[in-house]
Chain A
């Protein structure tokens, strides 16, 4: 096993392209629009694995915050395939820490563990297989030696995460046997796979930039959602479709091939026209940010809003207007909304430990925390969860429902939450002088919240910081800095 990794790292001739970084096969897929379709397919195959499916259902924020999740995944992949070994090692360590915190049991009581080696190998296998399939489906199949080199890259990826790639067969030929066996024997019709296929696209929230045009977004989604679902279903391996009872719709096959073919045509575009990083950045841009592109899009959105306003104004009045009162305006948001936007990170309608873990994960990713700060943050969130459970879980089912939360909003601000804020403050206060000075403050917001602050000459004291954070998390007061972290979809 270990000999294999040494081969991938050192035993190559100098003129061969590197396994990582610029020039690798994987790198060239980054800007390929086919990859968007292939990634969805790979995710469904991943989620169809009972262990991964259970872990996704319990821990992942992809239903409630898909765009944020996409961005995080994209950046992580980019770091994993960076040419710089130090960046790779750091990212691998971060991913391992992150996954080490995910374990539990699925709805049938079977345990799962995100560190399980065979399961992790399957994730890499689906990525490789989807990349190969995407080339096949778009009518540009890979040459045998290209495929072999790409397989080496994916094994190296797994090795970087796991130490070695022993869970994946050594050669591509053996890989197909392995892949078919897993598809035939292990994949199931998991809830997570169904959610990705049928619920995710139908309920996909608008990315932040289009948040102001909900009608437009909903209309586009109503057409594109089922289309993406059908394309993905048609591209899945036949044995799995049969097993999971997925529909075979007439024309779906043609549609799927057409979509892959059309996406494949992008190779005729001039170099540099498609840049996945730009697309991902754009999708997760906050319209209130300082980025000039955000301003352009915001201007465009302004035009759309005006058009929508005109449309609403000139549509003839229907019926007698009801005496419904105007919604509560102001800076306090209703408890229900706060629960949905901020607390329920996994979008399952309940507040549970994975929701708070997702918040801790998001904060530690954004702040780029290392050990031991990361563990301190998780511990603080865990303590807060226990506090919440004690205070709010009145029916004793181990989780907090929206109704239980609404009934007991004020008791949110306990000592454990204050502890969370303090840990966060300490992580930001790098020089440990008890205040976040202007530089640290700016740094916090630039790295963590992607915005530049106009103000910032005055130091931010510990108590002020803790006060702001606690009032955001407990009172549900909207707050410019914290909102984008937890609410952006």
Chain B
């Protein structure tokens, strides 16, 4: 079972276009999937779930769509806060530094983080206004500020300066809609991740699809760069 699963929620716009609906309708339809996947992951025993909700590049989308997204996210966060608390899910938000994020939304993010801080069930990280390179640059800055000498810096030490250093490496990334790109997502943490690219668009992505991805992962042979062990029987 993967410890840390990440989902790149792709295909909302296409989902809406195929139905001749405005792109915003696709985002609205994504809400149901988000809740379903959180619940499925939790009951399947995934300990860490990360959802890529909004990238630093998404700011380039049309202003109306961005505004709509901000309002939608705010409504979703508020609507499901009690549920997340009751399910023992610890929520936190990765990124959220851009001044364009409405103050009310940032407040809600903070509130949800505070509210669920004591939960010890699954940890849900929502990457919002996130960029993998930016995180690495920030880590480098923080490292330099800490005054470490160059030869003291190790991968382990560097990882300590990334946001949420307690997060383990990502084991499995699910990118819906068939697109096969990394799109600047948690670059450091996905170093050894397995990737699956189901053809389903995110609003159509359901619990069975998610479980199928977990199943695919279990059949993968994760070697982390070494050779496979020579066994005659069952490889795992």
Contacts and interface: CB of A to CB of B under 8 A. Distances in A.
Contacts of A324: 102-104
Nearest to B80: A313
B115 A321 contact: no
A278 interface: no
B85 A321 contact: no
B115 A310 contact: yes
B111 A327 contact: no
Contacts of A308: 111
A214 to B, nearest CB: 14
A489 B98 CA distance: 32
Contact of B111 (A313, A317, A329): A313
A351 B98 CA distance: 35
Nearest to A327: B103
| Interface residues of chain B: helix, strand, loop or mixed (majority) | helix
A314 B81 contact: yes
Contact of A321 (B98, B102, B110, B117): B102
Interface string A306-341: 101110111001001111111111000000000000
Contact of B118 (A306, A312, A313, A321): A306
A305 interface: yes
Interface string B104-125: 1111101110110110000000
B85 A325 contact: no
B3 interface: no
A321 B105 CA distance: 9
Contacts of B108: 312-313
Contacts of A327: 103
From B75, B101, B115, B118, residue with most partner A Cβ within 10 Å: B115
Given A306-B115, A306-B117, A314 B103 contact: no
Contacts of A305: 114
Interface string A265-307: 0000000000000000000000000000000000000100110
Q: How many of chain B's residues touch chain A, expressed as a range? A: 20 to 34
B103 A325 contact: yes
B107 A317 contact: no
A321 B103 CA distance: 9
B82 interface: yes
Contact of B100 (A320, A321, A325): A325
Interface string A399-421: 00000000000000000000000
A317 B75 contact: yes
From A305, A314, A326, residue with most partner B Cβ within 10 Å: A326
A190 B111 CA distance: 45
Interface in A102-138: none
A328 B97 CA distance: 10
Interface residues of A, number: 20
A306 B103 contact: no
B82 A321 contact: no
From A313, A324, A327, residue with most partner B Cβ within 10 Å: A313
A321 B104 contact: yes
Interface in A317-375: 317, 320-329
Contacts of B75: 317
B82 A312 contact: no
Interface string B198-209: 000000000000
A300 B43 CA distance: 31
Nearest to B107: A312
Contacts of A323: 67, 102
A309 B100 contact: no
Interface string A49-74: 00000000000000000000000000
Interface of A: 302, 305-306, 308-310, 312-314, 317, 320-329
Interface of B: 67, 70-71, 74-75, 77-78, 81-82, 85, 97-108, 110-112, 114-115, 117-118
Closest 8 CB pairs of A and B: A309-B111, A313-B81, A325-B99, A309-B115, A309-B114, A321-B104, A324-B103, A326-B106
Given A309-B111, A313-B81, 18 more contacts: A305-B114, A306-B115, A306-B118, A308-B111, A309-B110, A309-B114, A310-B81, A310-B82, A310-B111, A312-B108, A313-B77, A314-B82, A321-B105, A324-B102, A325-B103, A326-B98, A326-B101, A327-B103
27 contacts: A302-B118, A305-B114, A306-B115, A306-B117, A306-B118, A309-B111, A310-B111, A312-B111, A313-B78, A313-B82, A313-B108, A313-B111, A314-B82, A317-B74, A317-B78, A321-B104, A321-B105, A322-B102, A322-B104, A323-B67, A324-B104, A325-B99, A325-B100, A326-B99, A326-B101, A326-B103, A326-B106
